[in-house]
Structure formats: C-alpha cells, structure tokens
Chains A and B, each alone.
Chain A
Amino acid sequence: MSKAIRNTITSFIVPILFIFTWAIFATKLNNPMILPQINQVLNNFVHATDDFIGLGSIPRNIIVSLIRVLLGYCVGVIIALPLGIFMGYKESISNLFSKFINTLRPVPALSWVPLVLAWFGLASLATFFGVPYGPKQVFFDNFKFAMIFIIGMGTFFPVVSGAAFGVKNVPKTLIESAKVLGASNRDIFFKILIPAAGPNIINGLRGGLGSAWGCLVAAEMLPGSLSGLGYLITHAYELARTDLVVTGIICIGVVGALLDYIFVVVEKRRFSWLGR
C-alpha cells in the first residue's frame, strides 16, 4: 500500500470513530434537544436547497457567510500585512505599535460589539452604495460594516504578528551577503526580506483566516443579521433545532478547512525550498 493511501486512511479513523460515538449516544439519549440523530442532520444536507426556518437554503447561507468573512479578512489583511512588514523592518515602527497591539490582542472580538454597533449602526454595503430597495438591496444589506469590522479585527492580530516576526527574523547574513553583492535597500526589501519572510507571512495569513471564521458567529449575532451560517446557528438554537445547529457547525468547519487547504497548497508549491 502506498504511503499516500495509508495516510488518507489514517486521517479518516478519528472522524469515523467520532461519528460512531455520536450515533451511539444520540440513540441512547434519544433526545434531539441534547443531541440530534445523524440522519436528521444528513437529511438537512440532502435537502440543502430547501428554505430552512425562514433563513433560506444552506448554500445561500454559506455564500453570505463566505463573502462576509472574505470582506472582513481583506480589510484586516490590507491593514495588518503592511504594518507587520514595516514593524519587522524598522525597530522604531515596532516600538511605536507593539505594546498597543499586544494590549488589544487578548480582547475577544465579541467585546467590541456594543461599541461597533454604536459606531456603524446598521450601515451596510447597500446603504453605503445607496442600492435601491429590491432583491439586490436585501443581498447587499447582508454585509454590514459592523460585521466586517469584527471579522477584520479577528484577522488583524495573527497576520500582523506573522509578518512582523517573519521579517524581523530573516537571518542577518542573508542581508549582509546581499549588501556586499551590491544590493540597494529596495533590492534587500523585495528580493531578500519579503521572500525570506514568506513562510511566516503565509502562516500569519493562514492563522488570520482561521480567526476570521472564528469571529463569524460573533459577527452574525449582531442585530440586523438575517442570514449566514452564524445566524442560522443562533436562530436554530432559539427554535431548539439542534439538528440545524449541528448542520451549521459542520458547514463552518468544512468551508473553513477548505479555505485553509488553499494555504497548504500554496506552502507546498511556493516553499518547497524549505526542504521539509
């Protein structure tokens, strides 16, 4: 048996054991409020395109959540990535920001909700661009600034740390050898620092995306939210539909894992030189 097949089989052992345990407990307890049956959840996936508890189909909710996460993620990355790189590059910039950032880092994204609501209210992409009332407006109204802010916040910290750490820890001799070969400051920045810091930067971006997903449920609990996986979970909880809660959890997990896999592929392709 080839190693690849063996590895694939190994990676399925724990999930299968988990599903078995779930099935046994669900049957023994026989109380869908505590633990839904597997077939109930499977049934939700089979009928994924149905309208669930008035929140639309599962693919629709996935798409709304995905766009929210990606919007917030992009905002977070656009701020965190250059800041992190410059913090790693210049000690003075690092001194300026690092204490401030380290103080904010442990604050959970959720605790910003009251303030964020006060700042942004229910403003969304629809209100910002003045989309006239209609199906388009309903769609764009899903993307509220408050949510984007919370998700961006979650993205920010891992990305800024990864970039700053990566750039700061580029071996000094790489920079020195480039200098002796006649590199300008620009050469050193783009041809030495950035590629050398690449693996750590990607690691930060990967952690940031995971964290962005983590903030999704918090962001979708905000008032005015009417769709998305996080909202599906909260609303299903209010209706005691644990089967839908589990369905939502599985969707968040699977979509998050697929996005993470993009980074695995990038690392394999771009960083084969690490020789791992």
Chain B
Amino acid sequence: MTQEYIISLKNLCKSYNTKENLTVEALKDINLDVKENDFICIVGPSGCGKSTMLRIIAGLETATEGKIIYEGRELQKPTKDIGMVFQDYSLLPWRTVLDNIALGLEFKGVSKNKRLDIASRYLELIDMTRFGKAYPYELSGGMQQRVAIARALANDPHVLLMDEPFGALDAHTRILLQKELLRIWERNKKTIMFVTHSVDESVYLADKVIVMSRNPGEIKEIINIDMERPRDRGDIKYATMTSKILKMLEVS
C-alpha cells in the first residue's frame, strides 16, 4: 500500500476545563491530510487551537479524542521524525551555537566528532559559519531563530512543525527569514506545518493554507495557493488571496 499522506489527523478533539469549571473545546473534529513535502500554513484567531494542534502532533500534549496517523501508523508518543521550532527560540543559553545545533544528535547518541561535523553543515546552511562558538545571548532574535531551525533540521526530521516561529521578530527580519526558510526548504525538502497569525506570511509561504475559527476550534476552509515561488507581494493574485483569507477570518 502506498501512503498518500505522511500525516493524517482523524477526528482530533481537545477539550479542557477552566478554573471556573467551564469546558473549552480547543479543537473539535479536526480532520486533515498532509502530503509529503507539502508546506502547510495554519492561520486563525488566537485561541483557535492552532498551536495546540501542533503540540499534539509533537507529542507534547494528548488529544482528548481522535488520533494521528503518521506514515501509516498511529502516533503514540513523541518521535524524532517530527521536529519542532518554537516562537521563543528556546536555545540552551549555556551552549554555543554549534553545540545547540548538535543537541538532538547528542540525544540520539551520535559520536562527538560526527555530530559536530553535521552541525557545521547546518551552520553553513543558515549562513552563520562565523558564529559557531558564539552564545545565544550574543545573537539577535533573528539569528537565534535561524539556529533553532538548524537545530531542528540537524535531527533530519521528516516533518517540521513551526509554532509562530517568526512572531517575535521585527517586520524586516521576518521577511528575510521567510525567504531563507523557503530557500532551505527547497534545498532540503521536508513536510512543514507552520502556524502563524499573519495571513501575509501564510500566503507567501504555503502550498496550502488551513483557515481555522475559534470556540470551538475548527477547520473552516483549506485553500490551495497555486502560485510560483518566489511570490511577489505586489502581484494582484497575491493581494486577492490575502484579502480572501482575511475576510474569512473576520467572519469567524
């Protein structure tokens, strides 16, 4: 049997009780199929459960109901095949850039020489060879996030989950990193699931945009973005697409 999809979410539900004993449905009946090497963006208002969805796929939270099928098998616990990049970079401040990138390899038990070798290659990929011995506090936010991306990629995951990775960056750095992410993705194909609250970001990056609504957190619409990369923000098609998605979000 050939696997058409690398990840499928089947009737995924997540609810929890607040302190006032109200039940919040963070996710309700999420069904989503993701093809290998697709770049998926998930947009939605805050509280629509988009981050929760990623966290469940990463194995950091458990679903109340439903399941995740990964490469034909039900996903039960965190797997090294699925990497994640967080909004706050979460680099280990006491390690140099190179040792941070090598972290996942260290957990895997790769020998020191080999993992530094691999880490150096990813350092090159993010164009930061000069900074291998620097500590995170010496880097700007944009550079820290590039290191975090390299760290996730060095583990060679099949799927890369990105939870608002550029949310804390200034507009200029953000655009640079979007370009860079696409460049890396084109050289080093992965399935990417990218959560953002920026509609522009999603239209710029994704093959498919998943639009979500809140209370309960549901998938409202899945939109294919059939535009050549690199995309031109001045293009009329780009603008139409952006305003279409923005309208959907307004109604929700």
Binding site for B on A (CB under 8 A): 171, 173-174, 176-184, 187, 191-192, 195-196, 198, 271-275
Contact of B90 (CB < 8 Å), options: A177, A184, A195, A274:
A177
- Is the CB–CB distance between A274 and B78 below 8 Å? no
User: Which residues on the B side are within 8 Å of A180 (C-beta)?
Assistant: 58-60, 78, 82-84, 152
The verdict on A176 contacting B104 (CB below 8 Å), with A275-B135, A275-B137 known, is: no
CA gap between A177 and B78 in the complex, in Å: 11
B92 at the interface (CB under 8 A from A): yes
B145 at the interface (CB under 8 A from A): no
A253 → chain B closest CB, angstroms: 33
The verdict on A181 contacting B90 (CB below 8 Å), with A273-B135, A274-B137, A275-B138 known, is: no
**Nearest-CB residue, chain B, relative to A171:** B90
B93 at the interface (CB under 8 A from A): yes
**Nearest-CB residue, chain A, relative to B108:** A182
**Nearest-CB residue, chain B, relative to A275:** B137
- Is the CB–CB distance between B78 and A179 below 8 Å? yes
CA gap between A182 and B151 in the complex, in Å: 12
Tell me what chain A mostly uses at the interface: helix, strand, loop, or mixed. helix
**Nearest-CB residue, chain B, relative to A198:** B94
Binding site for A on B (CB under 8 A): 58-60, 78, 80, 82-84, 86, 88, 90, 92-95, 103-104, 106-108, 135-138, 148, 151-152, 155
- Is the CB–CB distance between A182 and B92 below 8 Å? no
**Nearest-CB residue, chain A, relative to B94:** A273
11 A-B pairs besides A182-B108, A195-B92, A273-B93 with CB distance below 8 A are A174-B92, A176-B60, A176-B90, A178-B103, A180-B84, A181-B103, A181-B152, A184-B107, A195-B94, A273-B94, A273-B95
A-B contact pairs, 23 of them (CB 8 A): A173-B86, A177-B84, A178-B103, A178-B107, A179-B59, A179-B60, A180-B58, A180-B59, A181-B107, A181-B151, A182-B80, A184-B107, A191-B106, A196-B92, A272-B135, A273-B93, A273-B94, A273-B136, A273-B137, A274-B93, A274-B137, A275-B93, A275-B135
CA gap between A182 and B102 in the complex, in Å: 12
B158 → chain A closest CB, angstroms: 13
B14 → chain A closest CB, angstroms: 17
CA gap between A274 and B226 in the complex, in Å: 46
CA gap between A112 and B58 in the complex, in Å: 53
CA gap between A264 and B92 in the complex, in Å: 22
User: Which residues on the A side are within 8 Å of B86 (C-beta)?
Assistant: 173, 176-177
B51 → chain A closest CB, angstroms: 12
A274 → chain B closest CB, angstroms: 7
User: Which residues on the A side are within 8 Å of B95 (C-beta)?
Assistant: 273
Contact of B155 (CB < 8 Å), options: A173, A181, A191, A196:
A181
User: Which residues on the A side are within 8 Å of B88 (C-beta)?
Assistant: 171, 173
- Is the CB–CB distance between B78 and A182 below 8 Å? yes
CA gap between A184 and B152 in the complex, in Å: 17
- Is the CB–CB distance between A182 and B107 below 8 Å? yes
CA gap between A180 and B163 in the complex, in Å: 13
**Nearest-CB residue, chain B, relative to A177:** B90
Contact of B80 (CB < 8 Å), options: A181, A187, A192:
A181
User: Which residues on the A side are within 8 Å of B138 (C-beta)?
Assistant: 275
**Nearest-CB residue, chain A, relative to B82:** A180
Contact of A173 (CB < 8 Å), options: B83, B90, B104:
B90
CA gap between A179 and B136 in the complex, in Å: 20
Which interface residue of A173, A180, A187 has the most chain B CB atoms within 10 A? A180
CA gap between A275 and B94 in the complex, in Å: 10
CA gap between A195 and B58 in the complex, in Å: 25
- Is the CB–CB distance between B92 and A192 below 8 Å? yes
User: Which residues on the B side are within 8 Å of A274 (C-beta)?
Assistant: 93, 137
CA gap between A271 and B108 in the complex, in Å: 27
User: Which residues on the B side are within 8 Å of A191 (C-beta)?
Assistant: 106
- Is the CB–CB distance between A183 and B107 below 8 Å? yes
- Is the CB–CB distance between A181 and B104 below 8 Å? yes
User: Which residues on the B side are within 8 Å of A275 (C-beta)?
Assistant: 93, 135, 137-138
A20 → chain B closest CB, angstroms: 43
User: Which residues on the B side are within 8 Å of A173 (C-beta)?
Assistant: 86, 88, 90
User: Which residues on the B side are within 8 Å of A271 (C-beta)?
Assistant: 94
**Nearest-CB residue, chain B, relative to A192:** B92
CA gap between A187 and B80 in the complex, in Å: 14
